[in-house]
């Protein structure tokens, strides 16, 4: 799919026409990554951060935030919970926190890899080549670093350099991660103030150019303690909307353009539509969910944007909820690491054990069954 067609879809608003896009994305998803939904246990290990990203609530400038950094034992406990819930992967995410030293992260990764049957993904921001290489050697399998927007001028504006004032080239860093042997995840936000629909088409083309193993996409959600927190910032002409619909379009187009990638239905999407955002994401291209395993006492403080979905549920509740949602749309939980690079089949080739069946183009997208009882507010 080329730029022109991407733009046509991104500006299409008729339900009838969009149904074709949803069906196309769902068909590609089923034929390449299958019906399995992989669960990645997310542990938000630190909300300390030296950066001043204009969009992010845990930016260094947010003095109102209570800061935390989990201990190594707490992280290991989280990983044990992931393993005992049957997840194949644990994701350790955090702010750009120099207190998460090269040695500390390396030890934690090595302990998890030694004791638990888990794939380890790190998402700790722009770290040095030396750190990234050490963590890879310690056993880290994946690294997630969104490029946020392919518009270089916009990225530079909303993403001032760190205190060491070294400007890192994120796209270059993603290529470096690949050379180090990581499975690489990246992605972008939808509807950043100053981002146009044409920018979003370029984001999708960049997912493909980077040949990403994982693609994370979510709507931009303004955080009042950030420079982009005001609603006025969202009202410029030609502005890409930070809506649920636009996010589904980007998910669907990402699936069509990058068939074998792992694509999560994100919490930011669930935050816009608690009742069925996750399911609709899964039905429009996504094949991954990321249940939150961060201890509750810390979770509320990992406030990258306000009113985040699922901040008050225990790991078990979150698991049960995700399981229910997956089953309600006729899918099942995936086993093992669910690695994009280890898939032995390529784009457009049916998954093993899955026969192509005639008429798949005309298959109906499953309708939503009622989800689990909805908790008020932040559930
Ligand atoms: N420090 C790490 C992890 C950041 S949080 C890093 O920089 O990679 C993970 C993702 O949350 C970010 O990459 C960004 O895309 C998303 N995010 C941050 N603030 C957001 C906001 N206000 N609305 C929506 N998504 C946001």
Distance 138 CA to ligand 1 centre (A): 25
- Are 245 and 281 a contacting pair, CB within 8 Å? no
Tell me what pLDDT residue 354 has. Answer: 39
- pLDDT of 379: 33
Q: How far apart are CA 25 and CA 233, in angstroms?
A: 32
User: Is residue 345 domain-resident?
Assistant: no
Average pLDDT over residues 182-187: 98
Encode pLDDT of 137-162 as tens digits. Answer: 999 999 999 999 999 999 999 999 86
Q: H or E segment at 253?
A: helix 244-257
Once rounded to an integer, what is the mean pLDDT over residues 74-80?
A: 98
The domain of 178 spans 3-337
Task: Give residue 56 CA to ligand 1 midpoint distance, Å.
Answer: 6
Q: Does the pLDDT value for residue 363 go beyond 90?
A: no
Q: Give residue 87 CA to ligand 1 midpoint distance, Å.
A: 23
pLDDT for residue 310: 83
- Domain CATH for 63: 3.20.20.70
For ligand 1, say whether the CB of 308 is within 6 Å of any of its atoms: no
Q: What is the distance in A from the centroid of ligand 1 to the CA of 254?
A: 19
Residue nearest to atom 6 of ligand 1 (CA): 125
Is 98 domain-assigned?
Answer: yes
Q: Cβ contacts of residue 15 below 8 Å, gap of 6+? A: none
How far, in Å, is the centroid of ligand 1 from the Cα of 146?
Answer: 8
The finding on whether 264 has its CB within 6 A of some atom of ligand 1 is no
- Which residue's alpha carbon is at the smallest distance from atom 11 of ligand 1? 304
Label residue 45 by pLDDT band (50, 70, 90): very high
Is residue 26 in some structural domain? yes
58 Cα to the center of ligand 1, angstroms: 9
User: What does each C-alpha distance from 206 to 93, 187, 202, 332, 362 come to in angstroms?
Assistant: 23, 9, 6, 30, 30
127 Cβ contact list (under 8 Å, min separation 6) = 96
Residue 43's pLDDT is 98
pLDDT (tens digit per residue) in 121-136: 999 999 999 999 999 9
Q: Which range has the worst mean pLDDT, 165-174, 262-271, 274-283, 328-337?
A: 165-174
Answer whether residue 151 is part of any domain: yes
**Mean pLDDT, the chain, integer:** 89
pLDDT at position 366:
45
The structure tokens listed for 307 are 């009113």
Residue having the nearest C-alpha atom to atom 20 of ligand 1: 56
| Percent of the chain scoring above 90 in pLDDT | 80
Cβ atoms of 154 and 194 within 8 Å: the answer is yes
Question: Residue 356's pLDDT is what?
Answer: 36
| Ligand 1, pocket-test mutation among 144, 168, 189, 194, most atoms within 8 A of CB | 189
Nearest CA-CA partner of 309 in 42, 39, 36? 42
**Protein residue with its CA nearest to atom 7 in ligand 1:** 125
Q: What is the pLDDT of residues 191-248, one digit of tens each?
A: 999 999 999 999 999 999 999 999 999 999 999 999 999 865 556 778 999 999 999 9
Q: From the CA of 346, how far away is ligand 1's center (Å)?
A: 30
Q: Is 145 in the pocket of ligand 1 (CB under 6 A)?
A: yes
| Ligand 1 binding pocket includes 309 (Cβ within 6 Å) | no
In this predicted model, which residue has the larger pLDDT, 353 or 19?
A: 19
pLDDT of residue 181: 97
> Is 57 contained in some domain?
yes
What is the Å distance from ligand 1's center to 22 Cα?
Answer: 26
Say how many CA atoms lie within 13 Å of 216 toward its Cβ: 17
**How far apart are alpha carbons 50 and 60 in whole angstroms?**
5
Total count of domains within the chain: 1
336 or 358, greater pLDDT: 336
CB of 95 shorter than 6 A to ligand 1:
yes
State in Å: Cα 228 to ligand 1 middle: 13
Distances 320 to 1, 125, 331, 342, 353 between C-alpha atoms, Å: 37, 30, 15, 28, 28
Indicate whether residue 284 lines ligand 1 (CB < 6 A): no
- Cβ(123) – ligand 1 distance below 6 Å: yes
Judge if the beta carbon of residue 143 lies within 6 A of ligand 1. Answer: no
Does the C-beta of 148 come closer than 6 Å to ligand 1? yes
Query: Which pLDDT value is given to residue 105?
Result: 98
Residue 259 in domain: yes
| Residue 367 in domain | no
What local confidence, expressed as pLDDT, does residue 339 receive?
A: 87
Q: Scanning the structure block, which residue is given the tokens 């690491």?
A: 337
Region 45-63: mean pLDDT is 96
The CB of 220 under 6 Å from ligand 1? The reply is yes
363 occurs within a structural domain: no
pLDDT given at position 109: 98
pTM of this structure: 0.90
> Span 315-325, mean pLDDT?
91
pLDDT value of residue 98: 96
Nearest CA to ligand 1 atom 24: 220
Atom nearest to 305 CA in ligand 1: 22
pLDDT of residue 232: 56
The C-alpha torsion from 345 through 347 and 349 to 353, rounded to 10°, is 50
């Amino acid at each position: 799919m080329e730029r022109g067609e991407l733009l046509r879809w991104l500006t299409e608003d008729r339900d009838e026409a969009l149904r074709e896009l949803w069906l196309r994305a769902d068909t590609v998803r089923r034929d390449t990554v299958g019906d399995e939904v992989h669960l990645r246990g997310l542990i938000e290990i630190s909300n300390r951060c030296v950066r001043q990203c204009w969009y992010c609530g845990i930016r260094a400038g947010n003095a109102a935030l209570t800061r935390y950094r989990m201990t190594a034992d707490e992280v290991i406990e989280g990983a044990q919970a992931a393993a005992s819930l049957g997840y194949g992967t644990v994701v350790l995410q955090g702010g750009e926190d120099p207190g998460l030293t090269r040695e500390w992260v390396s030890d934690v990764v090595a302990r998890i890899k030694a004791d638990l049957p888990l794939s380890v993904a790190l998402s700790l921001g722009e770290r040095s080549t030396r750190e990234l290489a050490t963590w890879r050697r310690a056993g880290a399998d994946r690294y997630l670093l969104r490029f946020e927007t392919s518009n270089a001028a916009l990225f530079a504006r909303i993403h001032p350099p760190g205190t060491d004032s070294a400007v890192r080239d994120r796209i270059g860093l993603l290529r470096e991660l690949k050379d180090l042997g990581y499975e690489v995840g990246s992605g972008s936000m939808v509807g950043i103030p100053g981002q146009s629909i044409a920018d979003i088409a370029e984001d999708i083309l960049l997912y493909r150019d980077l040949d990403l193993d994982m693609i994370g996409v979510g709507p931009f959600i303004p955080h009042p303690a950030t420079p982009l927190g005001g609603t006025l910032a969202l009202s410029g002409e030609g502005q890409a909307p930070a809506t649920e619909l636009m996010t589904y379009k980007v998910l669907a187009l990402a699936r069509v353009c990058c068939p074998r990638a792992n694509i999560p239905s994100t919490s930011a999407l669930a935050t816009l539509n608690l009742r069925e955002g996750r399911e609709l994401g899964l039905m429009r291209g996504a094949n991954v969910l990321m249940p939150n395993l961060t201890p509750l006492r810390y979770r509320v403080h990992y406030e990258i944007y306000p009113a985040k979905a699922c901040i008050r549920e225990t790991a078990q509740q979150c698991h049960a909820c995700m399981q229910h949602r997956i089953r309600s749309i006729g899918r099942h939980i995936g086993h093992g690491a669910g690695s994009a690079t280890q898939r032995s089949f390529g784009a457009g080739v049916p998954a093993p054990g899955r026969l192509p069946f005639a008429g798949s183009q005309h298959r109906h997208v499953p309708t939503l069954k009622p989800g689990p009882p909805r908790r008020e507010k932040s559930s």
